Amino acid sequence: MSQSVTEPSGVSYNPKNGRGGARSFTLAGSFGCNKGATVESRSANRVEESGEKGHEGVWVFIERDGGGIAGVSKELLGAGRKLACDLGVPLGALVLGDDIDALEKEAIVLGADRVYSSRHDSLRHYRTDPYAFFASALIKKYRPEIVLIGATTTGRDLAGALAVELRTGLCADCTALSIDTRRRLLVVEKPAFGGNILASIVCPKRRPQMATVRPRVMEPATPDPSRRGEIIRENLHYEENPVALSILGFTKEKDVSADLASADVIVAGGRGLKSAENFKLVEDLAQALGAAVGATRAAVDAGWVSYAHQIGQTGITVKPKVYIAVGISGAIQHLAGVQTSETIIAINKDPEAPIMKAATLAVVGDLFKIVPALTREIKRLKGEHMRR
């Protein structure tokens, strides 16, 4: 992979050739679109249908996870690539931080044609004020028509602040994105009215069109180390003084059973367990399987387990290989968070419960008999395996 870097002075810099060398790559009309899917590059000054003028490009805000790009941002680079190809515009990545060289390169490998970045000590950890300041400054200068942000704790916070600063609309917590090519509008889908309808929402009058997208509802971009792109770095002056919040340190969540995002196997419990004491049946089964523990809102509201375990529309969206639902009815708001699971196993005494229709394997029976027996059998099999 190679990339050209444009410093704020406007001088082009190619890491291979040195400062002022020829730019390593020229954006072709087809940008990073698939072979054969040639699209025309359009003028940045066209007039949107009743929208604001002079906005072009799809941007993805790059969130960090440890030293690399967070999963949700990889998913958005994948989705953003398709939107950019449909519009015939470049895909941009917005990268902020104090030490971001590796992130800039990774964003290009994952499909960005251009990386817009800013470095500053204040951007070391996420805080609303500095991130909103730098992000809005870059967006105002380079005027993308679409900005996508992960619907994570960080992304939800930043997107709200940015929408206010940029005086534009924000569609939060979306589950699908597409382009209305005739009107050149972003169409976002999200469950609304308690998940009873799927709303398609557009923002025809303001730019950029902004959306936060739930993690794990889209496929991540496929890395291509041979991709080339352009890095545009902006040095901005920022005073630390006005920052109302400073970070003193981080404490890792002790309850690892709530690490639902990366779990391959999840055992989740619902109101069918009837009490906090009984919820232990779910925890025991999860422990025997080496699985994470999930819960419905009913179980969380009853105080049997903390909110970190809640799965669904107002909880986390999960994508495990195996999802075991114990005493869960499968309300639409719960299913919204589990439907991308590879295999769903439901244990419920009611064969008509909605979860049974969504399940790959529906086990009809009393959880108080089935779950302890299952846990015992798994422990026995594991013991046998260890002895071999």
Residues that bind ligand FAD (CB under 6 A): 194, 270-272, 296-299, 310, 312-315, 327-329, 331, 333-334, 337, 348-350, 353, 366-368
CB of 301 to ligand FAD, least distance (A): 8
- Which residue, 257 or 310, is less far from ligand FAD as judged by CB? 310
Sign of CA dihedral 359, 363, 366, 367: negative
Q: Which is nearer to ligand FAD, 177 or 299 (CB)?
A: 299
Selection from 237, 232, 10, 231 nearest residue 121 by Cα: 237
Q: Report the nearest approach of ligand FAD to the CB of residue 214 (Å).
A: 12
Give helix then strand counts, H and E, for the chain: 9, 20
DSSP string for 346-375: EEES-TTSHHHHH-SEEEES-HHHHHHHHH
Rounded CA separation 211/73 (Å): 13
To the nearest whole angstrom, how small is the minimum distance from the Cβ of residue 250 to ligand FAD? 27
| Token pair listed for 192 | 């609304």
Minimum CB separation from ligand FAD for residue 348, in Å? 4
Question: Looking at beta carbons only, is 130 or 312 nearer to ligand FAD?
Answer: 312
Torsion sign (Cα): 49, 51, 55, 59: negative
Q: Which is nearer to ligand FAD, 161 or 305 (CB)?
A: 305
Q: Which is nearer to ligand FAD, 232 or 299 (CB)?
A: 299
- Please, what is the minimum distance in Å from the beta carbon of residue 302 to ligand FAD? 9
Answer positive or negative: Cα dihedral of 23, 228, 236, 138: positive
